[in-house]
Amino acid sequence: MTTPIFLLGGYQTDFARHAATEGRGLYELLEESVHGALEASQVPAADVETAHVGNLAGELFCGQAQLGGFVASLDPAFASLPTARHEAACASGSVAALAATAELEAGRYDVALVAGVELMRNVGAEEAARHLGTAAWAGREARDARFPWPALFSAVADAYAERHGLDGAHLLRIAELNFANARRNPLAQTRGWRFDPRDFTADEERNPLVEGRLRKYDCGRITDGAAALLLASPRYAAAWAARTGRSLDTVPRLLGFGHRTAPMLLEDKLRASRGSPYLFPHLRAAIEDAYRRARIPGPDALDAIETHDCFTISEYAALDHFGITPPGESWRAVEDGTIAPGGRLPVNPSGGLIGLGHPVGATGVRMLVDAWRQLTGRAGDCQVESARTVATLNFGGSFTTVVSFVVGTAAG
């Protein structure tokens, strides 16, 4: 990073709450998350100079666009705030964060608000699937699938199986770990769910196939929710640290980022990767960019990862692309306990998308909020002991837009 960007505090709504049945919409979710982030960071609303919002489908699920105007309505101090809304499918929140960091690095502003929001449980499952299908190439892929995204990610699993072999038991172990992690998270959508051991097997009654080779518990669920985060320049962060009695060296900062976008069609991505050891070379490149900018050698310098697991195969792909295992050998990190709580590199201690929940436009911001929590000792029962460096990986579509951040402290 050309300039350190500091994470001053963040907030996440309770992903188990059903916003529509409570009479809440996008505005109310944003309101709770933004005011929660201001309180958590001890940043006065009047100090915020710019705001960026991540959202995929407000128009489709709620008939609502122009979400930057919602932010400007949240507080009198925001009434003429410059804002922008960003859409990059499930990576919308991370792209909003990238835009905010670019403004801070350029010296335009000293304090930026980043928020992500989605309301998705106000329609039926098949209508929701159609809306979410707009993040694929409409009319050109998954045309015959009842649920487009399980079908496309089943195709990813097929590609892994063809190149490297794939045991479905490893995928279901990822699900089992993330649901177990979510039970410790008081904000997780599935924290109260109860499971039978057969749920994480190929039992057709307890865990039926959804599309292709992916089963019920291989799949994340749609979620209502929002997350918000306050980012700051070194100048503001130094004054803020002095005012709040903190050492600047202990304040989390963005150490590095990676951002790549591949062609829209999954089949084009898979075709382009022939001859590469990685199934998605651009995904590996984004992670390597984040490592390089953070000036770390690789995963051995990390204490935890929050990664995109909209499906179990998504996390499985992340493991080897992060370099935790050689390409095609993600199963090793599953079998030897590397990614489990207490393992060498815990993955998704929050519960991830499968366990915690996935309000699409909020997920990238939520990951950064969880990184801030880990680095400041606020993660509660999800805390990774002595966490000093955390990576995130967020992607939209079939690994189309990919964004990775490395977050740490100078003291670490």
The pLDDT tens digits for 215-241 are: 999 999 999 999 999 999 999 999 999
Residue 226 CB neighbours (<10 A): 33
Lowest model confidence (mean pLDDT) among 7-11, 18-22, 47-51: 18-22
Rounded average pLDDT over 101-126: 96
What are the structure tokens assigned to 96, written together? 């909003």
Residue 47: how many CA atoms within 13 Å on its side-chain side? 18
pLDDT band at 412 (very low <50, low <70, confident <90, very high): low
Which architecture, in CATH terms, is 5-123+222-244? 3-Layer(aba) Sandwich (3.40)
Segments in 341-394 forming alpha helices (H): 352-355, 363-375
Query: Scanning the structure block, which residue is given the tokens 């980012």?
Result: 231
Looking up tokens 């697991």, which residue turns up? 309
For 347-386, the pLDDT digits (tens) are 999 999 999 999 999 999 999 999 999 999 999 999 999 9
| Tens of pLDDT, residues 309-349 | 999 999 999 999 999 999 999 999 999 999 999 999 999 99
Q: Where are the domains of the chain?
A: 5-123+222-244
Tokens of residue 253, six digits: 């900062």
Order of strands, edge to edge, in the sheet holding 304-307? 83-86, 50-54, 111-118, 225-232, 5-12, 253-261, 401-408, 389-396, 304-307
Residue 396 β-bridge partners: 401
DSSP per-residue string spanning 145-195 = -SSHHHHHHHHHHHHHHHHH---HHHHHHHHHHHHHHHHT-TT-TTTT---
Q: What is the pLDDT of residues 134-177, one digit of tens each?
A: 999 999 998 888 889 999 999 999 999 999 999 999 999 999 99
- Helix (H) / strand (E) element for 248: namely none
The answer to whether residue 1 scores a pLDDT higher than 80 is: no
Q: 32-70: per-residue pLDDT in tens? A: 999 999 999 999 999 999 999 999 999 999 999 999 999
Q: What is the distance of C-alpha 400 from the center of its chain?
A: 14
Contact 374, 387 (CB under 8 A): yes
Q: How far apart are CA 235 and CA 167, in angstroms?
A: 51
DSSP 33: H
Asked whether residue 4 carries a pLDDT value surpassing 80, the answer given is yes
- Residue 144, pLDDT score: 86
DSSP code per residue over 256-301: EEEEEE--S-HHHHHHHTTTSSSS-HHHHHHHHHHHHHHT--SGGG
Q: Which of 331, 295, 313 is nearest to 406 (CA)?
A: 295
Which pLDDT belongs to residue 368?
Answer: 98
Q: Residue 348: which region, alpha, beta or left (left: phi > 0; alpha: psi -120 to 50)?
A: left
Give the pLDDT mean for 85-105: 98
Which amino acid does the sequence have at 164?
H
Alpha-carbon gap, residue 348 to 369, rounded angstroms: 13
Asked whether the predicted pLDDT for residue 72 surpasses 80, the reply is: yes
CA–CA separation, 328 and 165 (whole Å): 8
pLDDT at residue 411 is higher than 80? no
pLDDT at 89: 98
pTM equals 0.98
